[in-house]
Amino acid sequence: MPKQVLWAGRLKEKPEAEAFAFQASIGVDRRLALDDIAGSRAHAAMLAKQGIIPAAAAAKIDRELARIAGELGSGRLTVDPDAEDIHSYIEGVLTERLGDAGRMVHAGRSRNDQVATDFRLYLKRTIPELRNGLALTVSTLLDRAEEHAESVMPGYTHLQRAQPVTLGFHLCAWASALVRDRGRFGDALDRLDECPLGSGALAGSGLPLDRRATAQALGFARTSLNAMDSVADRDFALETAAAVSITMVHLSRFCEDTALWASEEFGFASLAESWSTGSSIMPQKKNPDFAELIRGKAGRAAGNLVTLITVLKGLPYAYNKDLQEDKEALFDSIDTLLSCLAMFRGMIGSAAFNTKRMEAACGGGFLEATDAAEYLVRKGMPFRAAHETAALVVRDCLDAGRRSITEQSLEELRGRSALFEKDIFGVLAPLACVRARGLPGGPAPKEVRRQIRELRKRSLS
């Protein structure tokens, strides 16, 4: 327990050490130290400008807070693990060093608007890191997509081979999801960009604070509108946790694909040895642990979101100590996503793709059947009839033990429809099927290259 507890005045009895430790949050919110100092510097400068504290005191406070920030940065000062929280710790150090001037800094402020401000400041500097991590990951995916714009592979529905696509197309699908995620973080950032300072405990302050000045000094776009909302609201944490969780769900799906591709059964990808692990008993093993762990950590991010939403549910207005549980969950989500993005980049960036095996997998499953039906539609057959004709051709093949429509002779095909001509064989090769699907959004290499350019643009905007 620290020597000085901020709220000790009213209470005759000291809390038990264990109880004090239970309600402390220093172990978690210490990472807000620099945000807290920035908030206090802006607040103190404003207090002086408004004539609430002497200019000389404000100057001393500012200098000392800058010094504390420097010392924390260099390690000369370390946060006291027995302090209650980062707000009381910083104010405590200031007061210990400055005496009365330090005691002036909290005028017109509560830890309730202080913590809401610190948390938002933290997210204002951290969300851009997440967005950057996403942009880098998109870039890695698109580099690989560019390499493999013409590498045909089966596309799946129901985990059954469906139609030929390319690896570049598949990777663009992944990148599209991450570009949206990046946008979601941007939206959250725009909405959280308002300053709660001046909201006090819940009801503002009778002192002539200048809320616009502190908001501006801290780089916020605007001041928050309603003091009670400002201290009770954690939508910004929820939104960020939701955006993290959605991104982690995306990564986990990519990792599921990757683990399948790395299996002997698929054999589409071979993960770098440096991005694989072995087994303690089976000497031959090379496991996709990184993919699995990212997939597993999506559960953690979902858990954090549920933690937050459950803490908030049913909370009476305004501030309640339950809210202190918000930071641990969100910090963990953010740390998890940052590390998973880096690991995912390393794993995918170094993977070797077995294009021969992917191409071979396009044969033998009648992936060209839809293209055969569309061939007939182009020759004037109604789609339902074309679908049935192509299905009968597939059945003929199965009966004859053939693995592809192109193994049928022209005569056999014409037995099903006179519309089949010699050109059908060229149309049904996997790369030809893919090339023919050049609509916007399609897998044709030229179109995939356009998607890559577009995704690159969107991931940087």
| Residue 115 interacts with ligand ARG (CB under 6 A): yes or no | yes
The DSSP secondary-structure symbol of 16 reads P
Q: What are phi and psi of 144, to 5 degrees?
A: -65, -35
How many Å apart are CA 375 and CA 369, to the nearest integer? 10
| Residue 126 interacts with ligand ARG (CB under 6 A): yes or no | no
Pick the catalytic residue from 110, 148, 158, 274.
158
Rounded to the nearest whole angstrom, what is the least distance from the CB of residue 19 to ligand ARG in the complex? 14
Q: Among this protein's residues, is 199 annotated catalytic? A: no
| Residue 404 interacts with ligand ARG (CB under 6 A): yes or no | no
State the binding string over 303-342 for ligand ARG (x if CB under 6 A, else -): ----------------x-x-xx------------------
DSSP result, 32-55: GHHHHHHHHHHHHHHHHHTTSS-H
Which residue, among 140, 154, 101, 119, has the nearest Cα to 361 in the 3D structure?
A: 154
Rounded to the nearest whole angstrom, what is the least distance from the CB of residue 460 to ligand ARG in the complex? 35
Q: Which of 64, 85, 194, 447 binds ligand ARG (CB under 6 A)?
A: 85
Q: Which of 95, 112, 199, 417 binds ligand ARG (CB under 6 A)?
A: 112
Rounded to the nearest whole angstrom, what is the least distance from the CB of residue 317 to ligand ARG in the complex? 14
Q: Which residues, 357 to 386, sit near ligand ARG by CB under 6 A? A: none
Instruction: Return the SS3 of 353.
Output: strand
| Residue 91 interacts with ligand ARG (CB under 6 A): yes or no | no
Residue 90, token pair as written in the block: 């910083």
Q: Which residues, 23 to 52, sit near ligand ARG by CB under 6 A? A: 25, 29
Q: Which of 106, 109, 111, 300 binds ligand ARG (CB under 6 A)?
A: 111
How many Å apart are CA 426 and CA 40, to the nearest integer? 72
Nearer to ligand ARG by C-beta: 1 or 360? 1
Q: Among this protein's residues, is 87 annotated catalytic? A: no
Residue 65, token pair as written in the block: 């807070």
CA distances (Å), origin 313, targets 231, 308, 333, 387: 15, 9, 20, 52
Query: Could you identify the residue written with the tokens 């969100």?
Result: 330
Residue 353's CB: how many other CB atoms inside 10 A?
A: 18
Residue 35, token pair as written in the block: 């945000």
Residues recognised as catalytic: 158, 279
Footprint of ligand ARG (CB under 6 A): 25, 29, 85, 111-112, 115, 319, 321, 323-324
